[in-house]
Amino acid sequence: MQLAKNKRNAIAVAVMALVLTILYLVIRVILMVVSLQSTVNEVDQLQKIASTKDLAQISAGLGKAADAIAMADASAKDPLVQLAGYLPVIGADIKAASIVASDGRLVLQGAQDVSNIANQLIKAGIGSKPLTDSTLVSSMRESMSAMNEAVQKLNRDLAGVDAGSLHFGLDQRIGSAKQIVSALANASARITPIVQVGTVVLEQPDTKRWFVAIQNLSELRGTGGITGAYAILTAKNGKVKLDEYGSDKTLLKMGGINYKNYPEELRDIWGVDLADWRDINASAHAPYAARLMADGWQQKRGQKIDGVLFVGQGVVSELSGAVGAITVRGVSVEPSNVIDFLSKDIYAKFTNVQVKDAVVGELAKEMFSRLVSGKVSASGFLKSAAEDTTGDRIMAWAEDKNIQKLFSNYRVSGEVSEKFGPNVLVTVNNAGGNKLDAYTFVKLDYVLGICNVDTFTGYQGRKSRVTVEIENRAPKSGLPAYVDLRLDDQFGEARPKGSNRDLVTIYGPVGSESETITVNGEDEFVSIGTDRNRPIWVFEVTLLAGEKKTLVIDMVEPINDDNQELISGAPSLIPPVMLNSPSVSVSSIGECRLQ
């Protein structure tokens, strides 16, 4: 009797505990949903405030939204709520809401920090006046970097949510959030490196002279494109001055560069003249070209260059968004047309090469003049970044080791790593002397395959494959003469209009070796060398208008290092900096173990 009573009591307690738990869970989930709804309302308000361009108000609005989402995040982090993510039917909804709450909170907090600091920097007259508080600039960089990480995480996490499995209208909301966040992630990934480099330039307490190489991605090089124009900036303690600007013709007139410091084994791998300003950035390792540019300026102008910044049409379009429309010789160059203008239209509009070069120089001058005077629009900057579809990215080099370390830490140094690891780089160097790479598209794939294969280079290894599909989408006719030139003097080879010739370089992992090399399935002869301790294979690819070729290297790459220790790290493939954003895929059949 007593036993039965105890049993009944126990069941009653258990049921009550279960009911309370469910009740608690329901309350937590409701709190999360209500807080998220409140966040959405605050964000809606924020959009209205954003049109006023008042950073103080925007910052306050972001603060309210961050406060609202903090409550949702607290609920999302509750172990019971997290456990509920595994429930059937509503589990996916709870998980999706939790992702938005947790990741979204970090994004909003980051955005609030960034807008706060930006407001202070603008008030301090950044760019045009010396800084009174130098820590503001580095705070801006750190906040922007943190916000970017948060945005990228939110984007990754949301991408993993199957909107189709959600209920209560969440499917539509998450579907639309995915699109917005994806665009934001694209913009953030493009803007953050520019802010990282810009703030490093601004915060230097001593005068530094920077060479800005404005690359033309219509004629590709290892670091991006041929240097079509340049600007010389001096910066000290937050104040920037535009000293000089010009086109590549000015550089060429200076004469050849003494390149004795360039790695000897690389001097003829691409068949380039390193004394020639147009040729010096053939390697993917940006510091090589930067050093040559600095040496060249010192040799020809007697001025020390403290750092070099590489920018192409993509970065220029973002800067264009920041400074607004510029009218050059009757043409209004604005964020919406600057990429096409600089990569295609300029050649049709200004057929005289000297005039075309002058237009580039004038555009560069006006753009940098506005930038250094602080006449910039943050919303324009963000909008143009979100709309940028190029494969451009900023790279920076500094003579000062500490500054270079910063660039390296932020991964904007363009350094090719000499360390072991499953990472591959691909570059394209134009070998036709034309501007047809505006029509070049590449699709890249890196697959890590079977294990237990030794390399001949002394390591335990695995098989891997790199595939490069390269396509020339140029038309067969109708392009300005300057665009579809073929200046290469290839013996006996037809060079019809619209045809192009590129040197595609694949940088293998340190210690890797090739087993087979093919183009369109046929064995191919390639030029082979080493760059930055990596084997490199240089394919000479000629493409008719509309033609596509598939280059494949089957490799064996190390899984252990020189100390016979297992190499760790996710595989990566760094694509070429180019006008048409490359398609990249990386996959692995799994980790290998040492035998």
Partner 1 sequence: MKTKLIALSAIALLSASAAVPALGYPAGQAPVLGLSSASRIIPGDNITVQVSRVKAGCSVTVFWVGEGISSGAKTVKANGKTGAFSLATPGTAGTYTLSTNSISTTCSGGDAVTLTKSVTVGRLASIVTKVSSTSAFSSKNPTFSASGTVKSGSVAVASQTVTLSLRKDGTEVKSTTATTNGSGQFSKSFTGTTYAAGDYTVVVTLESGAVYASSTKTSAKLKLR
Interface segment toward partner 1; rule CB under 8 A; list 84-92, 201-209, 261-269, 572-580 = 261-269
At residue 473's C-alpha, the angle toward residues 471 and 476, to 5°, is 125
What is the nearest approach in angstroms of partner 1 to the Cβ of residue 227? 12
Inter-residue contact 284 to 338 (CB < 8 Å) = no
- Report 3-42 residues binding partner 1 (CB under 8 A): none
For residue 114, report the phi and psi dihedrals to the nearest 5 degrees.
Answer: -60, -45
Token pair of 543 as six digits: 């493409």
For the window 547-566, what string marks contact with partner 1 as x by the rule CB under 8 A?
---------x---x-xxx--
What is the nearest approach in angstroms of partner 1 to the Cβ of residue 291? 19
Distances from the Cα of 464 to the Cα of 459, 488, 542, angstroms: 14, 34, 26
Please tell me the distance from the alpha carbon of residue 463 to that of residue 455, in angstroms, as a whole number.
9
What is the nearest approach in angstroms of partner 1 to the Cβ of residue 534? 9
- Residue closer to partner 1 by CB (options 20, 528) is 528
| Neighbour-count burial of 555, counting CB atoms closer than 10 A to its CB (0-12 exposed, 13-18 middle, 19+ buried) | buried
Inter-residue contact 81 to 88 (CB < 8 Å) = no
- Residue closer to partner 1 by CB (options 250, 530) is 530
- Report 266-285 residues binding partner 1 (CB under 8 A): 268-273, 276, 278-279, 282
- Residue closer to partner 1 by CB (options 564, 585) is 564
What is the nearest approach in angstroms of partner 1 to the Cβ of residue 283? 11
Instruction: Give the one residue of 51, 169, 206, 491 binding partner 1; rule: CB under 8 A.
Output: 491
At residue 460's C-alpha, the angle toward residues 458 and 466, to 5°, is 100
For residues 249-261, one letter each, b for 16 or more C-beta atoms within 10 angstroms of the residue's C-beta and e for the rest, the string is bebeeeeebebee
Interface segment toward partner 1; rule CB under 8 A; list 59-67, 200-208, 227-235, 431-439 = 431-439
Instruction: Give the one residue of 165, 182, 457, 588 binding partner 1; rule: CB under 8 A.
Output: 457
Please tell me the distance from the alpha carbon of residue 463 to that of residue 42, in angstroms, as a whole number.
53
| Neighbour-count burial of 263, counting CB atoms closer than 10 A to its CB (0-12 exposed, 13-18 middle, 19+ buried) | middle
Please tell me the distance from the alpha carbon of residue 310 to that of residue 298, in angstroms, as a whole number.
18
Instruction: Give the one residue of 85, 91, 433, 546 binding partner 1; rule: CB under 8 A.
Output: 433
- Residue closer to partner 1 by CB (options 254, 487) is 487
What is the nearest approach in angstroms of partner 1 to the Cβ of residue 276? 5
Instruction: Give the one residue of 265, 354, 569, 587 binding partner 1; rule: CB under 8 A.
Output: 265
What Rg, from alpha-carbon coordinates, does the chain have? 27
**Does 529 participate in binding partner 1 (rule CB under 8 A)?**
yes
- Report 367-396 residues binding partner 1 (CB under 8 A): none
Token pair of 283 as six digits: 């390697």
Residue 593 DSSP SS3: coil
**Closest C-alpha to 101, from 21, 34, 166:** 34
Q: Name residues whose C-beta falls within 8 Å of residue 116's C-beta, 6 or more positions apart in sequence.
A: 59
**Does 487 participate in binding partner 1 (rule CB under 8 A)?**
yes
- Residue closer to partner 1 by CB (options 306, 524) is 524
Instruction: Give the one residue of 234, 237, 514, 550 binding partner 1; rule: CB under 8 A.
Output: 514
Count of positions on this chain that bind partner 1 (CB under 8 A): 62
**Does 511 participate in binding partner 1 (rule CB under 8 A)?**
yes
- Residue closer to partner 1 by CB (options 196, 560) is 560
Q: What residues make contact with partner 1 under the rule CB under 8 A?
A: 265, 268-273, 276, 278-279, 282, 418, 429-433, 452, 454-461, 487-493, 501, 503, 508, 510-517, 523-530, 533, 535, 540, 556, 560, 562-564, 594-595
